[in-house]
Amino acid sequence: MTRSTDKTRVGVQINTATGFVRRLKRDDLTSADAPAPAHDPGGLLRALVTAQDWRTGAAFEAEGVAAAAALRAGGSPGAAGGIYQSLADCYANLGQHAHAFTLYEQARAAFEAAGDNAGIGSACRNLGACYANLGQNAQALPLHELALASYQAVGDRAGVGSACEALMQCCSNLARFDHALAWGEQARAAYEAVGDREGLSRACRFLGAQYTNTGQPVRALPLLELERAACEATGNRGGVGWACEALGSCYFNMRQYDRALPLYEQARAAYKAAGDRASEARVYQRLVNLASCFTNRSGDVVHLGGSLGGHGGFTRLSPDKIWYCGKQKNECKCGSCDGRCGPHKGCPCEDCFDFMQKHRQMHQMHQQQQQLFQ
């Protein structure tokens, strides 16, 4: 069957389903009443799932289960599996995971009777998702592994990606981070192969965060750069903020503060543009911490001088453009300072002057420090 006739068929089914719903509403059917019998329960339920009308779909449970039982008895277990699956989807989307679970189990049994690997794969994946939603990750693991095997058997790479991602999430929830990373890498490869950008983005985010948190910034950096580029391409500002913040944290952990600074700045701007004030405040705190990491060659933390006037000694610069360590160094070169290197005005000491010269992005940092300390 070609894609276009498939679409037409789904369209007809949605129209049929919408007609049903309209009729139900017109007849002012209360929840105590049974829905009008459907001519084709399987088709109707598929259409309702496509239309995401979970409530109406669930209302057809009795009729759907009866039709599925008849199909199984009549030697069409695959079609029966489809009906159970549609009903289960409705309950899962209504948040009734325990009930969805029993229906997915029936779908799985029917697909197994039909030898339908794709059906088994999706039933197992959904069973695993039910367990995960009920907080039972250990029980979800073997089901996701079964789903993976089924998808591999039919060569469904998108399915392989989703199963690996589900395994990644389960292992992460169970604090098995090494396993989570391995599954994440497999999910990433599968999504990359089928060109699923959203899936790839989720895998990159997970892996990037895990590598960052486990002190492996060199592995995290290329993934985070990929994620930043993907978010920039789709105009996802919050995503750009997240990626820049994570990149900044990598460089911060590597003690490359000059590289962390502009990234945190970009993160802050992106969060601001996205209206995410909590994240903006978090990055501001990172910037404050970062500022205390700028040290001169003697290891003393340096800050910019004050902006309330005064002179910059021999540098002839305004003190708010000079970095000071605040120590009594007696290294005044203009003859009018008290010998202290700052902290607000006067000659900087040799170490602090050296720091200033080494930093090419002086102006950028000056602006930064002004925002932080004034």
Size of site (CB under 5 A) for Zn ion: 9
**């892996």: which residue's tokens?**
207
Question: Which of 168, 352, 356, 365 is the binder for Zn ion (CB under 5 A)?
Answer: 352
Of residues 117 and 296, the one with the C-beta less far from Zn ion: 296
| 349 touches Zn ion (CB under 5 A) | yes
Q: Which amino acid, residue 339? A: G
Segment holding 226, helix H or strand E: helix 217-234
| 334 touches Zn ion (CB under 5 A) | yes
Of residues 238 and 326, the one with the C-beta less far from Zn ion: 326
The whole-angstrom separation of Cα 240 and Cα 164 is 25
Question: Nearest approach, Cβ of 292 to Zn ion (angstroms)?
Answer: 15
Question: Nearest approach, Cβ of 317 to Zn ion (angstroms)?
Answer: 12
Nearest to residue 300, comparing CAs of 373, 351, 368? 351
Following DSSP, what letter does each residue of 23-72 receive, concatenated? HHHHTT--TTSPPPPPS-HHHHHHHHHHTT-HHHHHHTHHHHHHHHHHHH
What is the DSSP secondary structure assignment for residue 22, as one 8-state letter? H
Three-point CA angle 75, 55, 99, nearest 5°: 60
The whole-angstrom separation of Cα 183 and Cα 168 is 5
| 261 touches Zn ion (CB under 5 A) | no
Which of the ranges 29-37, 59-67, 75-83, 351-359 carries the binding residues for Zn ion, by CB under 5 A? 351-359
Residue 213 in tokens: 């948190």
Question: Which of 341, 345, 365, 369 is the binder for Zn ion (CB under 5 A)?
Answer: 341
The answer to whether the CB of 265 falls within 8 A of the CB of 224 is no
The answer to whether the CB of 155 falls within 8 A of the CB of 118 is no
The whole-angstrom separation of Cα 106 and Cα 93 is 18
| 241 touches Zn ion (CB under 5 A) | no
The whole-angstrom separation of Cα 345 and Cα 362 is 17
| Residues in contact with Zn ion, shown as a per-residue x/- string from 297 to 316 under the rule CB under 5 A | ----------------x---
Of residues 213 and 328, the one with the C-beta less far from Zn ion: 328
Of residues 181 and 341, the one with the C-beta less far from Zn ion: 341
Question: Which of 140, 224, 230, 347 is the binder for Zn ion (CB under 5 A)?
Answer: 347
Of residues 277 and 297, the one with the C-beta less far from Zn ion: 297
Question: Nearest approach, Cβ of 204 to Zn ion (angstroms)?
Answer: 43
Three-point CA angle 78, 79, 83, nearest 5°: 115
Question: Nearest approach, Cβ of 349 to Zn ion (angstroms)?
Answer: 3
Question: Nearest approach, Cβ of 309 to Zn ion (angstroms)?
Answer: 15
Q: Rounded to whole angstroms, what are the CA distances from 306 to 95, 231, 292, 298, 357?
A: 59, 39, 16, 22, 19
| 332 touches Zn ion (CB under 5 A) | yes
The answer to whether the CB of 93 falls within 8 A of the CB of 57 is no
Of residues 168 and 365, the one with the C-beta less far from Zn ion: 365
Question: Which of 146, 290, 325, 356 is the binder for Zn ion (CB under 5 A)?
Answer: 325
Question: Which of 59, 337, 356, 365 is the binder for Zn ion (CB under 5 A)?
Answer: 337
Residues 17-56, interacting with Zn ion (CB under 5 A): none
Binding site for Zn ion (CB under 5 A): 313, 325, 332, 334, 337, 341, 347, 349, 352
